Amino acid sequence: MTIERLAIDGGKPVRDSYLPYGRQWIDDDDAQAVLQVLKSDYLTTGPTIAQFEQEIATYVGAKYAVAFSSGTAALHGACFAAGIEEGDEVITSPMTFVATANCILYQKGKPIFSDIDSQTYNIATKNIQSLITKKTKAIIPVDFTGQPAELEDIQKLAKQHNLTVIEDAAHALGATYKGKKVGSISDMTMFSLHPVKHITSGEGGVITTNNKEYYEKLVQFRSHGITREKNKLNQYEGPWYYEMHFLGFNYRMTDLQAALGLSQLKKIDQFIQTRKRYVAKYQEAFRKIKEVIIPLDHQTNASCSSWHLYIIRLRVEQLKVGRKQIFEALQKENIGVNVHYIPVYLQPYYQKLGYSKKQCPYAEKLYEEIITLPLFPAMTMKDVNDVIKGVTKVISNYSR
């Protein structure tokens, strides 16, 4: 797609065509995998689902994996399995997509937002302690941009207070924490399979867990609360017989989606290495720009990011304009920037629920200063260099 526009200086943009911030990589192997299922006897819930779940579980080192129709559905399932219900409080980060908190509301629980660490941008463990009450049921840490949260400290805190940890790792498939893959550590871990994520199934999500009870609840929850297992039935009337034991949902993934996910999973290590190579190029270039704060080099810490997003932070006091003008100028250079995220409690719906502004000052300050740059495996090194040129040009034009 070509967009006719003038750059901020009235000249030609650094790119002739628009570069989005994220996009899937689909090749012939992916298409053939889906086509093979299309020609099979199963389109919805068949053997490919089970195969995909097994491969995901093996990849992250978990005992079980349960596939859902979306990451949101998966997170909702985890909240149900954890027993979250009306009156329960769940502590989470405000720097996330609204689905993280919405899934608590689906279970009639109350999201409690904990401020973030000023350097990692993940939920600050020291803040969680002060928010725990007798009503607290769970903690949902978010692995922001692909960097694992302080999982060890969060797990210790959860055990002290008998809380469930549901890790929102929508950004972090392939990331590691102290030598372990994300997905094998927390009580339950959610991965998103949206097209801009590390791998895609079109839409989809997965919960991984080592807990058999959670696993069985998740499987039943995604299929209307129905079971056909004889040992779980109140009675048995014949081979056709099934029972609905609780109010579940139709959150099943299709075999078509699972086939795409399986094919994509074979390429995940390649995808992550490409992301890291592009990030290294960004880090080298942007650390030279005094008006920009680059992300921590997560690979040198206990955690190893899988780099879903690359976010720069502006030193706005050193610029003539604010973030909005920088954002718009980059768009005019055909650089598809974005912002991740607006703190959840600032949304009008949450304001109506009684959440106040200024409750997480670090998160709000971060939101006002960040810009997400393009980062995805289907980019080329020329695309990466174009982004660097665009950012350097715009910052230079607006530097004090």
CATH code, domain carrying 345: 3.90.1150.10
Condensed to tens digits (0 to 9), the pLDDT of residues 158-169 reads 999 999 999 999
CATH code, domain carrying 52: 3.40.640.10
> Where does a domain end: 223, 249, 265?
265
Radius of gyration in angstroms for the set of CA atoms belonging to the chain, rounded to a whole number: 22
- Asked whether residue 315 is domain-assigned, the answer is yes
- Asked whether residue 6 is domain-assigned, the answer is no
- Looking at the structure, do residues 391 and 314 belong to the same domain, yes or no? yes
- Asked whether residue 341 is domain-assigned, the answer is yes
What are the CA-CA distances from residue 113 to residues 116, 124, 197, 298, 362 (Å)? 9, 11, 25, 24, 12
Q: Residue 132: CA atoms inside 13 Å, Cβ hemisphere, count?
A: 18
- Looking at the structure, do residues 124 and 237 belong to the same domain, yes or no? yes
- Mean pLDDT, the chain cut into blocks of 10 residues (400 residues total): 59 94 97 97 93 98 98 98 98 98 98 96 96 98 97 97 98 97 98 98 98 98 96 95 97 98 98 98 97 81 89 97 98 98 98 97 98 98 98 97
- Looking at the structure, do residues 273 and 261 belong to the same domain, yes or no? no
The confidence score (pLDDT) of residue 221 equals: 98
Reference 197, options 271, 299, 255, 270; nearest CA is 271
- Looking at the structure, do residues 200 and 233 belong to the same domain, yes or no? yes
**Spatial distance between the Cα atoms of 186 and 387, rounded to a whole number of angstroms:** 36
Q: Is 128 exposed, middle or buried (0-12, 13-18, 19+ CB in 10 A)?
A: buried
- Asked whether residue 9 is domain-assigned, the answer is no
- Asked whether residue 21 is domain-assigned, the answer is no
Instruction: Please name the residues in contact with 270: beta carbons below 8 A apart, sequence gap of 6 or more.
Output: 377
Residue with tokens 């689909």: 26
- Looking at the structure, do residues 214 and 75 belong to the same domain, yes or no? yes
Reference 310, options 345, 342, 275; nearest CA is 275
End-to-end CA distance of the chain: 34
> Residues 376, 378, 381, 383: is their CA dihedral positive or negative?
negative
Residue with tokens 């990589």: 25
- Looking at the structure, do residues 249 and 330 belong to the same domain, yes or no? no
- Looking at the structure, do residues 195 and 335 belong to the same domain, yes or no? no
Domain hosting 79: range is: 28-265
**Spatial distance between the Cα atoms of 223 and 213, rounded to a whole number of angstroms:** 16
- Looking at the structure, do residues 88 and 161 belong to the same domain, yes or no? yes
Number of domains in the chain: 2
> Where does a domain end: 245, 265, 285?
265
The confidence score (pLDDT) of residue 302 equals: 74
> pTM for this one?
0.96
**Spatial distance between the Cα atoms of 340 and 327, rounded to a whole number of angstroms:** 13
> Where does a domain end: 250, 265, 280?
265
Answer for the pair 157, 125: CB distance below 8 angstroms, yes or no. yes
The confidence score (pLDDT) of residue 4 equals: 52
- Asked whether residue 18 is domain-assigned, the answer is no
Please, what is the angle between helix 323-332 and helix 381-398, to 10°?
130
- Looking at the structure, do residues 386 and 241 belong to the same domain, yes or no? no
The confidence score (pLDDT) of residue 2 equals: 44
- Asked whether residue 8 is domain-assigned, the answer is no
